[in-house]
Amino acid sequence: MADTAKAPRKRLAIITTVWKYLSHAQHMGDRFLVGYPWEGRWHRPEMDVVALYVDQKPEGDQSQIRADEFKFKVYPTIAETLLCGTERLAVDGVLIIGEHGDYPVNAKGQVLYPRYEFFEQCVDVFDKDGRGVPVFNDKHLSYSFEKASQMVAAGKRLKFPMLAGSSLPVTWRLPSVEVPLDATIEEALMVGVGSSDPMDFHALEAMQCMLERRRNGETGVKAVQLIQGPAVWQAGKDGRWSRRLLEAALARSTSMSGNATKDGRPQDLTHSGELEELVKDPAAYLIEYNDGLRATLLMINGAVSDFTFACRVRGMPQILSTQFLLPALPNVAYSACLMNKVEEMIATGKAPYPVERTQLVSGILDFCLESKVQANQRLDTPQLNVKYRAPRASQFGGAPT
């Protein structure tokens, strides 16, 4: 590699809401400034952050300190950030990190992070310049499926690669398993925790990265329903989600509360009756895919604090199950897995997995939360007719290559 003609180092712009300790911008952005551990080496990306736009500067803001130390500039607008004070697009890649910061919350409980607005301003610059550069968008594209779809359409129109989403699809798994490509998945269940709408997004995308590998690829979602409270347990009894898959998912959890925290003993939460007591406000996100697959996200705060998945694959004697590992603070090593994918896209000009995954999940979440405010009704979702194919190769940490 060292022998090839020295290509100029790629120049990156980061467009973010806030940059303070342990914000996404800090732990993701810093990977390009100080490097990150990768495959047993401290890896330093062959690219430089040259420009930063930061929307809010709360107490603890590190944007100027970082700019001073790492010799880049903080610009007052997104356009100037991408132009680096010139007349032409002056960067080779853009990271939009619109997570954290003080933004309004709508009636559906969605934080109105201005990712779409940031992206739109980038596209304005691309349009004027007649070309786009690779864009990474952290987490869901937008709280609004419509806006998310416009973003994907803009990327296609200007033919620039886009990568988006959560770190869960690319973090390590325990065990290190993958859904075989073209498998027939009979039923799937994801267990997640945390608040809506930041954490349910992570859980939904973790599930989607498994399901999209099924036979005939992703075909989109025809209906969703979000149910809450005792109706969640009743739905389990009615067979709308599988208690057996819940047992399989929880068998992968390492963070059960209840007796485990009281006196250490492990427990069979699925059958002991404790689950219903521990989880005061359960929610089930019931998803019906166009090809007939049914999948459920159970948000069970109070019982566990990790993200696990289980599904039945036709022909496999055992249920396939795993934990999406989120290594602890402060290293949050999962963000290194995600930034490695961003680095790959910027270096190669090719997104390692399709942005349509995140588009679809942005939509599933948006409509589930719509169901929540519409008295938990089942909603038909002809709009979520998003079709795509999963990459053949696994993309998660430590995946066999």
Partner 1 sequence: MPESHKISRRAILAAAPAAAALTVAGCDKSAAQPTKRPRIAALVTEVRRLSHGEVILDRFLEGFGWESGHHRPQVDLVSLYVDQFPESDLSRERAARFPQLKIYPSVEKALTCGGDKLAVDGVMIIGEHGKYPVNEKGQTLYPRFEFFQQAYEVFSKSGRVVPVFNDKHLSWNWEQCSKMNGLARCIGVPMMAGSSLPITWRIPPVEMPDEAVVEEAMSVGNGNPDSYDFHLLETIQCFVERRKDGETGVVKLQALRGDAVWRALEAGNWAAGGWDPQLFEACLCRSHMLAPAREGFNHVYPTPADMARMVKDPVAYRFEYVDGLKATMLLLNGLVGDITFAARIKGQSEPLSTLMYIGGGNETQPFNFDALVWNIEQFFLTGKAPYPFERTLLTSGLVAAGIDSLDRKGEWIDTPHLEISYSPTRHSTFRRT
* 294-299 and 185-192 strand pairing: parallel
What's the distance, CA 287 to chain centroid?
Answer: 18
315 lies in the site for partner 1, by CB under 8 A: no
Q: Residue-wise over 115-141: b if at least 16 C-beta within 10 A, else e?
A: bbebbebbbebbeebeebbbbbbbbbb
278 lies in the site for partner 1, by CB under 8 A: no
Site for partner 1 in 159-178 (CB under 8 A): 172, 174-176
40 lies in the site for partner 1, by CB under 8 A: yes
DSSP helix, strand, coil percent of the chain (3-state; round to 5): 35, 25, 40
Nearer to partner 1, 239 or 264 (CB): 264
- How many chain residues interact with partner 1 (CB under 8 A)? 60
For Cα atoms 245, 183, 221, give the angle at the middle one, nearest 5 degrees. 70
The residue from 65, 105, 373, 393 that contacts partner 1 (CB under 8 A) is 65
The residue from 7, 330, 375, 392 that contacts partner 1 (CB under 8 A) is 330
Taking the C-alpha atoms of residue 210 and residue 222, their distance in angstroms, rounded to an integer, is 18
Q: Rg of the Cα trace of the chain?
A: 21
**H-run or E-run covering 355:** helix 355-373
Farthest CA pair distance, the chain? 66
Nearer to partner 1, 91 or 339 (CB): 339
Is the CB of residue 93 less than 8 Å from the CB of residue 12? yes
As measured in angstroms, the least distance from the Cβ of 230 to partner 1 is 24
As measured in angstroms, the least distance from the Cβ of 281 to partner 1 is 20
Cβ count within 10 A of residue 315: 7
As measured in angstroms, the least distance from the Cβ of 100 to partner 1 is 14
Cβ count within 10 A of residue 245: 27
Q: Which stretch binds partner 1 (CB under 8 A): 8-16, 39-47, 139-147, 383-391?
A: 39-47
Cβ count within 10 A of residue 59: 5
Nearer to partner 1, 178 or 366 (CB): 178
Site for partner 1 in 6-35 (CB under 8 A): 21-22, 26-27, 30-31, 34-35
Nearer to partner 1, 18 or 83 (CB): 18
The residue from 197, 274, 306, 343 that contacts partner 1 (CB under 8 A) is 306
179 lies in the site for partner 1, by CB under 8 A: no
Nearer to partner 1, 4 or 261 (CB): 261
Taking the C-alpha atoms of residue 230 and residue 253, their distance in angstroms, rounded to an integer, is 23
As measured in angstroms, the least distance from the Cβ of 193 to partner 1 is 11
To which residue do tokens 């398993």 refer?
A: 177
Q: Residues interacting with partner 1, by CB under 8 A?
A: 21-22, 26-27, 30-31, 34-42, 62, 65, 172, 174-176, 247-248, 250-257, 260-261, 263-268, 270-271, 305-306, 310, 318-321, 325-333, 336, 397-398
